[in-house]
Structure 1
Amino acid sequence: MSNKILSFVLFLLALSAHLNATPPNRNSDANEIITTLTLRDQQQVIIRRMREEDINEAGEIIRAAYLDDCKNIEHATSEERCQMFTVPVERTRHALHNIHNDKDSVLFVAELAEKNSNVAQLLGCCRVKLNPEGNSKDNGPFGQIGPIAARIGLQGTGIGTALIRVAEEYVVRQWHVCEMQLDAHSIPKPVEGVVHPMTPLLQFYAKRGYRRVGKTMWFDPANSNYVTMPGHLCHLERMVKDLCVPSATTGGDGTKRGREQQSAEKSPKRMRKHQNSAYSVKNYVKDLIKDDDHLNVLVEAAVDLAHNVGLIKRLDDSDSRSRMNSDFASIIPFTLFPSPYPRQIFLQALDVQTGLQKLYFRVSCDYAFLAEQFKDVIKTNDLMRRMAEIMHEIQREGQKQAYTLFLARSDYMVGVQLDKETGQKKYGLKQVEMNIGSVVGSAFGPRTAELHRQMLQKVGMDASNLPESRAFNTLAEGLYLGWQKFGDPDAVVVFAVLQGSVHRFDERAIEYELQRISEGKVNIVRMSSKEAYHKLRLDEDFKLRLSADGRVVALVYSRSGPLPEWTDEEWHARRTIERSTAIKTSTMFSALSSSKKVQQVLAKPGMIERFLPDPEDKEIIAEIRKTFAGLWGLEKDDDETRNLVQHAIDNPDLYVLKPQNEGGGHNYFDEELREKLQHFTHEERAAHTLMERIQPMIVKNYMVRPHEEPVLSDVVAELGVFGCLLGDKRNLSILHNKQHGYLVRTKPASSTESGITAGGVYDSLNLF
């Protein structure tokens, strides 16, 4: 068993014992071990509540660590560093003694598991405090962490991180609050309205989930209990982290539910914030697992279920001549249980989907608009250039097919922001991107939900909050309507697929559903984008036919590309398809319309109204706009753009830099973003879009992957909502516009990409 799992199990056992006990006073549990960890030199360390006899040693650790931290302030001069001193030791001891006896404070210490008289025992310490009333009448209770200190020479060994984690878990379970705040050394003199670069200390906390909220403050060094320094350096910046408040699980005897009710009676104001907050997340997963044996039993059951419901991928043979002909299959990665998700935000995503599809259909019909938006992008982006060239050719030649079919998926995250007026957190739906055509996961999403439904039943939980999803049925229905609209009952449907795709069975589910809906009337032919060059031909009347037998192609469903690595033959095949009378999903027009560039332009004031001018669309326009994150084009060379770029260079953690490539991924974050913006030419910069980095809602879950031990992790869920639209480009009429089905791809909170091939896993939703 890994150290992380051992630490987590010990932590749960310790807290469970503490919660079920009835100690005579608040310090009766001072000797309990909260968790254990292993340092890089393999020494075992335990974390426990501080005792009275620890005060002297803890005080020395804090004084030394804080002095070292202050002397490393980047903007401090040598003379100023000479003016930094620790305060008298008696003052620190007195402060820690008061904290130790404060009913709303707890001190944790880290020490070596094996006693050694020749080595200092305490390695670090951390204090956490409850603010029961908040800091205003509109702000509920929260935890406040600090001081946090590791012994000099032990920074970077994981002691500080472990202390922070223990403190966070403690305030959630003991105090039922969902927010932690801290104040860290920031800048010498804050300037109003200016977001300053992160100091190393701020970066340390940011990597552990704390976010800047734009609040700085000055403190009087005369009141410091640990270190004093020149007053103009005494500025702090507030950072905040959202903590997921666990709910009671549905145990057979109801004891956990009873404890939560008792806590509400004793501390109604704390629980009221939990219950009324927009983020009263039921973070139940961590409470479902009794021990390692229980976890292993559940994982084994889940893996069997995955194979049974078809949440699997085919493995390639090592012999390249038999690629994708292997009889071996492996599970597609998934979460052990459905992740908690706000019901209101989920419904908001469903409600806006048909409006989005109508908007992007209108955009795809506006050739002049698309040509204008990509005139700068194509100068340095070869993929966009080749796509635009085909679009221009089709426009000059005249489009041979008026009907267009959208198979769409709009992806979202739950964004977290701070309300400037109330100081409370707000949670909202934020669109990541719009995908049209090659949308994956329509079958794997429902299969994951079915797996989760059975897993919840195994642990005695209600599965009624898992929304139904048959997205593959929606897509198959759209393909059938497109085939019917073509008007030739003998014409075939071509699935142009990616060779070796992990989503092969996802594609097959749509194929089988299409055959079921059509009662076997639709003939389906699969081929890769490479094979299409040889297997498709274009007649003089622009009908697309199969080269082998001459059958007419009614519809082409492209699950592959366009991709940067396409060969000339693959591009030729796509050009042939685009020029034909076949109905296509998607066309180059619709593919370009769903690019990051167009997404950015649509976020400008008045742009949605350009495509949805009818008064009846006013309400849906407002709903669409609510989902937009900040988006900026970089093609201009004016002061506004230069200032924006500089701000992103100074604060790369606030942005994502997105190229225009299809297929997801390829994005730049943090230092890579900074480096790209510093070295891009103007033309290269113009081929990218700058997007506000969404601060996501984080929950706990286990991720199950082949040949890996599942570990309880902080994860972020990305919701995808499916839909289908069939429209006539001649008069902009919409013949079919439907939303149905969803998928969830979940990634580690530390990861930047959510795709399954990039480390993400399939998930579903437990709505609350």
Structure 2
Amino acid sequence: MAPKGFPELLKEHEDELVESLLHWSLSNGLIMYPPNYAKYQANNAPITLFPTPFPKKLYENAIEVQEVFNELYVNVISKEKEWLIAKIKELSEFDQSFTGELFNIYQKILSENGGKLKQELSLGLFRSDYMINSVDETIKQIEFNTISVSFGGLSSKVGKLHQYLNNSGYYDDKYSMKYYDNEHIPISNSINKLAKGINEANYYYNDQTHNTKTVILFIIQEGERNVFDQRHIEYSLIENHQLKSYRLSLEKVQEEVVINNDKLYIKQTMDEVSVVYYRSGYGPNDYTSSKCWESRYLLEKTLAIKCPSILTQLSGTKKIQQILTNEEILKKLLPKIDTKTYNQLLSTFVKIYPLDDSEEGKYAKKIISEDSSKFVLKPQREGGGNNIYKEDIPKFLQKIDEKDWGAYILMELIHPPKYSNKIIRNDEIYNEDIISELGIFGSIIFNETTGEIKLNFESGHLLRSKFSSSNEGGVAAGFGCVDNIYLYE
């Protein structure tokens, strides 16, 4: 069945909708700081006026495999540690200033502690991102994010906004009636589910007791514009779990914390930190000086549970994602997986090639020299703005030494459907074709040494959309917007 078309509104009715949308967004924290902001200034987050169609079956498929994906990456970290470390060591040679520095900290901590981690428990707040491939009507995984997954806060808010506008009749041009059935506009519970994951890590840190005296430390970027997305999780922690949070940048960590008997404390209050939650530290721009690297080392060597640990973060590199599409490796890492789930996982993969000196790598170099229009080149970087697309790939590769090509992976492009939704950024409305990316959050607590999984659950969804003419999709980076799904059969 085809989806319903978007509401068609008279100009005065669309103006009323936009005013209500802005009021709701500002009233309920669906907001971001603008560039060069003052602390009292905030704008509505870039969002769509209407929810965007998404096939219900494909949405359910993505939900169904999230816990398996969580488990897959935990098994890479814990059960194939030597293999993972060997791959990260290879990557470090190409990326010494970032991957290499993280890997050095990991090795230093092990060497100082007799080959063991001070804290073996790790918290993963993950997000698996997909697009619909119009060619075969399947969802295809774009990437698996293991650190600083964003928009779990704003995702809950935009779903509530779209339901409010629908229930209030703003989508109906004539009779002020509901345009959509509410069950077709699901609200993501990612705020509370992500907060639950952090709360459960606090519980295991405290020997499986609910201790509200320990606190959560958010590691954030200086001048963070997407602060409200993070704050919603913080508010859920205090409201639902009575857990207090602190916020520090890597630059300020050493001034504001103290370590005693390997435990981490906030210096001013001497509150004990149970969980270090990284909302920064995912790219080299977050390490502006040696002081930032020293802060990461200091935090990692404590007993606080890290979200994520260094090895968990590095398991999310594009190179590992490329290797995990290999069927033999997948079966080895998930030996007990049933046939249906295994096939579901496989169906989400597109072809990903290395650009090294392996036979597969040589084949990849050959095909992009002949026709690069079907591919995207991805480095080991998180956040928007780092990928190279189509005809730009050969020109980019010519600028760097071929021995450094191994730091990249070559991924088949996905061909998503286009929809003529409307995006509002500040007070401007853009009516262009958009393409969308579905993210499914997952929470998992596990022992990094033994692989024992304490808790594993799917944690809500996110839809991000962007103009179909734009290659990149980062919302905070200015490329896209936060959206929500309208499910159809």
Confirm or deny a common fold (TM above 0.5): yes
- Which residue matches 1:583? 305
**Within-5 A mapping of 1:528-677:** 528-539=249-260, 541-565=261-285, 566=287, 567-614=289-336, 616-636=337-357, 638=359, 640-677=360-397
How far apart are residue 664 of structure 1 and its match?
4.2
- Which residue matches 1:525? 246
- Which residue matches 1:327? 40
How far apart are residue 370 of structure 1 and its match?
1.7
1:722-762 per-position Cα deviation (integer Å, ceiling 9, x unaligned): 11111123432211111131111100011111110232011
Q: Secondary structure in 2 aligned to 1:690?
A: strand
Quote the Cα distance in structure 1 between the aligned partners of 2:34 and 2:138: 39
**Within-5 A mapping of 1:716-727:** 716-727=435-446
Quote the Cα distance in structure 1 between the aligned partners of 2:164 and 2:266: 44
Letter in 1 for 2:244: N
How far apart are residue 581 of structure 1 and its match?
0.9
How far apart are residue 662 of structure 1 and its match?
2.6
Quote the Cα distance in structure 2 between the aligned partners of 1:503 and 1:727: 29
Quote the Cα distance in structure 1 between the aligned partners of 2:471 and 2:63: 25
Letter in 1 for 2:299: I
**Within-5 A mapping of 1:288-299:** 288-299=7-18
**Within-5 A mapping of 1:719-758:** 719-756=438-475, 757-758=477-478
Root-mean-square deviation over aligned CA pairs: 1.9
TM-score w.r.t. length of structure 1: 0.59
Contact 1:558 1:586 in 2 (8 A): yes
Quote the Cα distance in structure 1 between the aligned partners of 2:463 and 2:197: 22
TM-score w.r.t. length of structure 2: 0.91
**Within-5 A mapping of 1:333-372:** 333-365=46-78, 366-372=80-86
Letter in 1 for 2:321: Q
Q: Secondary structure in 1 aligned to 2:18?
A: helix
Please state if 1:404 is matched with 2:122: yes
1:569-609 per-position Cα deviation (integer Å, ceiling 9, x unaligned): 11111111111111010011111111111100101121112
Q: Quick check: which has more Rg, 1 or 2?
A: 1
Letter in 1 for 2:401: T
Please state if 1:711 is matched with 2:434: no
Q: 1:371 to 1:337 in 2, by over 3 A?
A: same
Contact 1:491 1:554 in 2 (8 A): yes
Instruction: Give 5+ residue unaligned stretches, structure 1.
Output: 1-274, 319-323, 418-425
Contact 2:121 2:305 in 1 (8 A): yes
Quote the Cα distance in structure 1 between the aligned partners of 2:134 and 2:150: 27
Q: 1:665 to 1:607 in 2, by over 3 A?
A: farther
Contact 1:495 1:524 in 2 (8 A): yes
Contact 1:379 1:683 in 2 (8 A): no
Q: Secondary structure in 2 aligned to 1:700?
A: coil
Please state if 1:392 is matched with 2:107: yes
Quote the Cα distance in structure 2 between the aligned partners of 1:445 and 1:682: 41
Identity of aligned pairs, percent?
28
1:491-520 per-position Cα deviation (integer Å, ceiling 9, x unaligned): 3211111222222111111111111222x2
- Which residue matches 2:93? 379
Q: Secondary structure in 2 aligned to 1:699?
A: coil
Quote the Cα distance in structure 2 between the aligned partners of 1:758 and 1:315: 10
Quote the Cα distance in structure 2 between the aligned partners of 1:619 and 1:364: 24
Q: Secondary structure in 2 aligned to 1:731?
A: coil
Q: Secondary structure in 2 aligned to 1:666?
A: coil
1:5-44 per-position Cα deviation (integer Å, ceiling 9, x unaligned): xxxxxxxxxxxxxxxxxxxxxxxxxxxxxxxxxxxxxxxx
- Which residue matches 1:431? 141
Quote the Cα distance in structure 1 between the aligned partners of 2:76 and 2:259: 28
Letter in 2 for 1:610: K
Quote the Cα distance in structure 2 between the aligned partners of 1:669 and 1:767: 30
Q: 1:649 to 1:302 in 2, by over 3 A?
A: farther
How far apart are residue 549 of structure 1 and its match?
4.3
1:351-371 per-position Cα deviation (integer Å, ceiling 9, x unaligned): 000000011111122331222
Contact 2:123 2:446 in 1 (8 A): yes
Q: Secondary structure in 1 aligned to 2:251?
A: helix
How far apart are residue 453 of structure 1 and its match?
1.3
Letter in 2 for 1:705: R
Letter in 2 for 1:371: I
**Within-5 A mapping of 1:111-126:** none
Q: Secondary structure in 2 aligned to 1:694?
A: coil
Quote the Cα distance in structure 1 between the aligned partners of 2:282 and 2:294: 11
Choose which of 497, 500, 504 in structure 1 pairs with 2:227.
Answer: 504
Q: 1:747 to 1:468 in 2, by over 3 A?
A: same
Instruction: Give 5+ residue unaligned stretches, structure 2.
Output: none
Q: Secondary structure in 1 aligned to 2:152?
A: coil
